[in-house]
Amino acid sequence: MKHKKVTTAQKTKYHWYKMGQKRCPCCGVQLTWEHRASSKRSASVEHLVLKSHGGSNHQFNLLVLCVNCNADRGNSDWFEWIEKKQPAKKEWLEQKFISAVEKYYDGSSQTNDIAKRLSPKDQTSVINFLKKR
């Protein structure tokens, strides 16, 4: 018998579902958790650091948003998008983003390389945050 491979997206959705996430952290819509995204309220997995910027599939880099917000962000800078989309949740979401990026600052040249590929605005915000600690 063939075993279907469980994808990272499926694992992530399951994890957040089990953790009791009910709503999209950006727009607050009540999420639905069906296997395949079928509406704007479907849970979908967002990469905090975009894959195109070297973001990984590790859980620390993933967040569950509704399909609508995920599509809306597209390839936008995280900080700019949050400011525009959900200013009330800005701090919480920035924390999420920063802790995701922090994992890349482990001193190895490869991970610093990834951090360098962030958009200038995201990079500045992250560096300023790290300096304050």
Retrieve residue 31's tokens. Answer: 């999420």
Candidate residues 12, 13, 16, 26; the one interacting with Zn ion per rule CB under 5 A: 26
By CB under 5 A, which span of 4-12, 19-27, 30-38, 79-87 interacts with Zn ion?
A: 19-27
Retrieve residue 102's tokens. Answer: 């922090």
Candidate residues 12, 13, 16, 24; the one interacting with Zn ion per rule CB under 5 A: 24
For Zn ion, which is the closer residue by CB, 27 or 127? 27
Q: Where are the beta strands (DSSP E) in the chain?
A: 43-47, 62-66
Residues 78-117 that bind Zn ion (CB under 5 A): none
Please say whether the dihedral angle defined by the alpha carbons of residues 94, 97, 100 and 106, taken in this order, is positive or negative.
Answer: negative
Residue 102 sits at φ, ψ, to 5 deg, of: -50, -35
For Zn ion, which is the closer residue by CB, 23 or 117? 23
> Max alpha carbon distance in the chain (Å)?
55
By CB under 5 A, which span of 15-23, 65-73, 77-85, 107-115 interacts with Zn ion?
A: 65-73
- Report the interface residues with Zn ion, using CB under 5 A: 24, 26-27, 66, 69
